[in-house]
A and B are shown apart, each in its own frame.
Chain A
Amino acid sequence: MIKNKHVAVIGGGIAGMETASVLSNQGLKVTLIEKQPVTGGKLNDWDQLFPDFSSSETLVTRQNSKTSHSGVNVVYNTEINRIEKINGRFELSDERDVKIFADAVVVASGFRVFDATLKEEYGYGLFGNVITSVDFERQMKKYGKLLTAQGTEPKRVAIIHCVGSRDAKVGNTYCSKVCCITGIKQAIEINQKLPDCEVFCFYMDLRLYGSKFDTLYLTAQKQHKIQFIRGRLSEAAEKPDKSLQIKAEDTLQGRPLRMNVDMIILLVGMEPGPSNSRLIQNNKMALDENGFLKSANIHDARNCTTQEGIFMAGTAICPMPVNETLENARSAATEVIHFFENKKNDGRF
């Protein structure tokens, strides 16, 4: 009987909560394991979501209430380090040796934000007015507008695309998928709160895929006078007044460009979660070429790991935005149910 089956979901971000609540609503016993004292994950730090500027907090609240109403058992302050198959069941343990047993596992352990201090030439951590897109979200949540480290309203801001993504120098050659649209969303928010502030986006390629993102790009150009410069930032330097000088090539003009700005926002990419390498140790799970969890088949077994009975949801698989994460999480739940019903996914093995 499927109703007697117990599923452990690792990670209480939106992906984990979505998978857990769908499975619980289907009558399965579900334990959601979260390392923090609260669920919601990275979304607890975000202010507004692209492309509709809806509140991140509202979404997390909805996810939280859905999770508790569906009867999911949530375990907090527990970080799973080890998944091992023993006598046909999975044994999950953390470093304190707390053990959880399950018939199937869903890994929804998410991603890590790229550490911008690794791009030393951009000055993050050295210059106070160089911030990341994550810092921007925290600032917007706290103060409602962007302010320099000196507490003044910036007059000119540069937004830098592809920081920690598509960069062989930091070991990440993949595209993080969400940064271009995040940059455009944040550029619009700056213009809405500070209409006198000029905003420049420095990009290599603009990747605004799908039906909604390009519309926002058009809006940024038409209604917010955001300027787009095709060139990669080579370096930033701080001036005595704490403003910044940046260097890039305006590749469409074919000339080097120098510019003074009050602030720089680095659109930091998404990296594989820090626990991935530990989680694959005692089972047949594997990592893909970028360090994310490997799917058995990227077309019709995206949520299946290479270990039968362990599934995955959300950004543990690859970078993806919030709406795709939730869709992906629901698809992971379907995959778990099929597994218990012995419906074979031919794409799997």
Chain B
Amino acid sequence: MDDFSYLKLASRQIDFDNFDDRLLMYVLEYEPSFLTCISCGGCTATCSAGNLTNFNVRKIGLWLRRGETGKLSEEIEKCMFCGKCTLVCPRDINIRNVILLIKKRISMLKTENEKASWKI
């Protein structure tokens, strides 16, 4: 039978039914100001890393809110923690801390996964 893979739309859609909120909940616990982001892009415009690479700090936040955690762990390595994003944010979100919390939580989850695999 022919491969009708073009009919498989699932991968293009954002799946809100299987929402992975493990990163988001952790970030909100320690940086609740993150809730107020309106995606104005001020952070991305001023971002030191974004001027040199295709890093987009606003999208990091958006992916976090949408549970798109897969892309995050690699992208986030581009951040240089200069903190300019935090300086320009009109909602006064500590964006630098948001990035730090994401990194922390990812490494925590990795450790948990490793421990779980040892037990098997």
Contact = CB atoms under 8 A, between A and B. Distances in A.
Interface of A: 121, 162, 166-169, 204-205, 230-235, 247-251, 254-257
Given A204-B40, A251-B40, A257 B45 contact: yes
A230 B51 CA distance: 19
Contacts of A169: 88-90, 92
Nearest to B51: A256
B88 A121 contact: yes
Given A232-B41, A248-B42, A256-B50, 6 more contacts: A231-B41, A232-B42, A232-B90, A248-B41, A251-B41, A255-B56
B43 to A, nearest CB: 8
Given A168-B90, A168-B91, A257-B45, A231 B51 contact: no
Interface string B40-76: 1111111100110000101100000000000000000
A204 B59 contact: no
B38 A204 contact: yes
Contact of B56 (A168, A205, A235, A254): A254
B39 to A, nearest CB: 6
Interface string B86-119: 0011111000000000000000000000000000
Contacts of B38: 204-205
Nearest to A235: B46
A203 to B, nearest CB: 9
Interface of B: 38-47, 50-51, 56, 58-59, 88-92
A168 B36 CA distance: 11
A168 B92 contact: yes
Contacts of B44: 249, 251, 256
Contacts of B50: 256
Contacts of A254: 56, 58-59
B87 to A, nearest CB: 8
Nearest to B88: A234
A234 B44 CA distance: 9
A299 to B, nearest CB: 26
B61 to A, nearest CB: 12
B45 A249 contact: yes
A256 B45 contact: yes
B56 A231 contact: no
Contacts of B41: 230-232, 248-251
Contacts of A251: 39-41, 44, 58
Contacts of A248: 41-42, 45
Contacts of A234: 42-43, 45-46, 88
A255 B38 CA distance: 16
A247 B89 contact: no
Contacts of A162: 90
A249 B91 contact: no
A169 B41 CA distance: 15
B92 A232 contact: no
Contacts of B90: 162, 166-169, 204, 232
Contacts of B42: 231-234, 248-249
A168 B39 CA distance: 15
15 contacts: A121-B88, A167-B90, A168-B92, A169-B89, A204-B90, A231-B41, A231-B42, A231-B45, A232-B45, A233-B42, A234-B46, A248-B42, A251-B44, A251-B58, A256-B45
A70 B41 CA distance: 52
